[in-house]
C-alpha cells in the first residue's frame, strides 16, 4: 500500500472548484469473481463510512490505497456516493492527472521504497496520483466514463478521413460529440447512439499533434473534458 496515495479534486461540470463534497471511493481487487457482485477490497462506505470531505478548494486526500487496481468514485456508475450537504451529485467524469489512460480506469501506480515519484502535493504532503471528479446535480447531463481509442499515432497511418471513436457513459442516446484542436472543431458524424454508448466517425484530416479537447452534448448541456488533467484526445506523431 502507498501511505500517501491519492489527491481528490472535486469540481462542477465546468471545472470550477466544488468544496465540502463527500466522496465515495472503492476499488482495487474485486472480492468475488461474479460479474454481478460489485464488492471490492477497498470501499470507504463499508463496513463503516470513512468518506473524505473536500476542503473549501475542493481538495481532499486518501491514504493506504492498494496499487494496480482501478478505482470507482461516487458509487456504482457514478451515482449515489458524492454529496455536498444533503445534495447528491452525479459523476460526469473522473479525469486522472497522470497515467496512460485519459479517463477511467483511475489507477494508483505501484510504489517501491526506491521510487520517489510523488508528483502531487496537497498541504505539505506529496502524493502518488491525483484525480479530478467533475460533478453535476443534473440527472440528465451527459456523463463520460471512457473514450476509445483515447489516442492515435499519425505515423501508424490511420484513416483520418473516417476515424471511429466510441464513448461510453450515461445519457448518450441523443448526444453528439466533437474534438477541438488548434482552433479547429471536428464534429462527429454517422453517430450510433444508445443510453450508455456513442459511436461517431470523425474526419481528422489535417489534425496536428497534441491534446484535442473532447466535448459531449445533449439537450441538458455540454461536458467538455479538460486536456489538463488528461481528459483530452492525444494525437501523437
Q: What is the pLDDT of residues 154-188, one digit of tens each?
A: 999 999 999 999 999 999 999 999 999 989 999 99
List the domains of the chain with CATH numbers: 2-136 (2.60.40), 143-236 (2.60.40.10)
Tell me what the mean pLDDT of segment 101-119 comes to. 79
Average pLDDT, the chain: 93
Tell me what the mean pLDDT of segment 58-77 comes to. 90
Tell me what the mean pLDDT of segment 87-114 comes to. 87
- Number of H-type helices and E-type strands within the chain: 0, 22
Query: Can you tell me the distance from the alpha carbon of 119 to that of 128, in angstroms, rounded to the nearest whole number?
Result: 6
Question: Is the pLDDT reported for residue 202 higher than 80?
Answer: yes
Question: Is the pLDDT reported for residue 70 higher than 90?
Answer: no
Burial of residue 85, with CB atoms counted within 10 A of its CB: 0-12 exposed, 13-18 middle, 19 or more buried = exposed
Question: Is the pLDDT reported for residue 111 higher than 90?
Answer: no
Banded pLDDT at 113 (limits 50, 70, 90)? low
Banded pLDDT at 36 (limits 50, 70, 90)? confident
Percent of the chain at pLDDT exceeding 70? 97
Which positions ≥6 away from 213 have C-beta within 8 Å?
Answer: 179, 180, 181, 224, 225, 226, 227, 232, 233
Residue 33: the pLDDT is: 84
Residue 138: the pLDDT is: 98
Tell me what the mean pLDDT of segment 104-119 comes to. 77
Question: Is the pLDDT reported for residue 133 higher than 90?
Answer: yes
Query: Can you tell me the distance from the alpha carbon of 82 to that of 89, in angstroms, rounded to the nearest whole number?
Result: 6
Tell me what the mean pLDDT of segment 120-146 comes to. 95
Query: Can you tell me the distance from the alpha carbon of 8 to that of 122, in angstroms, rounded to the nearest whole number?
Result: 10
Residue 30: the pLDDT is: 79
Percent of the chain at pLDDT exceeding 90? 75
Closest CA to 212 of 177, 185, 175: 185
Q: What is the pLDDT of residues 210-225, one digit of tens each?
A: 999 999 999 999 999 9
Amino acid at each position: 500500500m502507498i501511505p500517501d496515495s491519492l489527491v481528490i479534486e472535486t469540481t462542477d461540470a465546468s471545472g470550477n472548484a466544488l468544496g465540502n463534497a463527500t466522496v465515495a471511493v472503492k476499488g482495487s481487487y474485486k472480492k468475488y469473481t461474479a460479474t454481478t457482485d460489485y464488492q471490492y477490497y477497498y470501499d470507504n462506505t463499508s463496513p463503516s463510512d470513512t468518506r473524505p470531505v473536500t476542503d473549501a478548494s475542493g481538495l481532499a486526500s486518501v491514504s493506504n490505497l492498494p496499487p494496480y487496481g482501478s478505482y470507482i468514485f461516487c458509487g456504482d456508475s457514478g451515482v449515489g456516493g458524492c454529496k455536498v450537504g444533503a445534495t447528491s451529485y452525479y459523476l460526469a467524469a473522473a479525469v486522472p492527472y497522470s497515467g496512460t489512460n485519459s479517463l477511467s480506469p483511475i489507477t494508483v501506480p505501484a510504489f517501491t521504497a526506491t521510487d520517489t515519484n510523488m508528483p502531487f502535493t496537497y498541504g505539505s504532503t506529496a502524493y502518488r496520483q491525483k484525480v479530478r471528479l467533475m460533478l453535476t446535480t443534473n440527472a440528465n447531463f451527459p456523463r463520460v466514463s471512457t473514450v476509445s481509442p483515447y489516442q492515435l499515432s499519425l505515423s501508424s497511418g490511420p484513416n483520418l478521413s473516417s476515424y471511429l471513436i466510441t464513448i461510453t457513459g450515461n445519457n448518450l442516446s441523443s448526444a453528439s460529440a466533437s474534438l477541438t484542436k488548434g482552433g479547429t472543431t471536428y464534429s462527429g458524424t454517422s453517430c450510433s447512439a444508445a443510453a450508455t454508448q456513442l459511436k461517431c466517425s470523425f474526419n481528422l484530416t489535417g489534425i496536428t499533434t497534441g491534446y484535442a479537447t473532447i466535448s459531449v452534448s445533449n439537450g441538458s448541456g455540454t461536458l467538455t473534458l479538460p486536456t489538463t488533467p488528461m481528459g483530452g484526445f492525444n494525437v501523437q506523431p
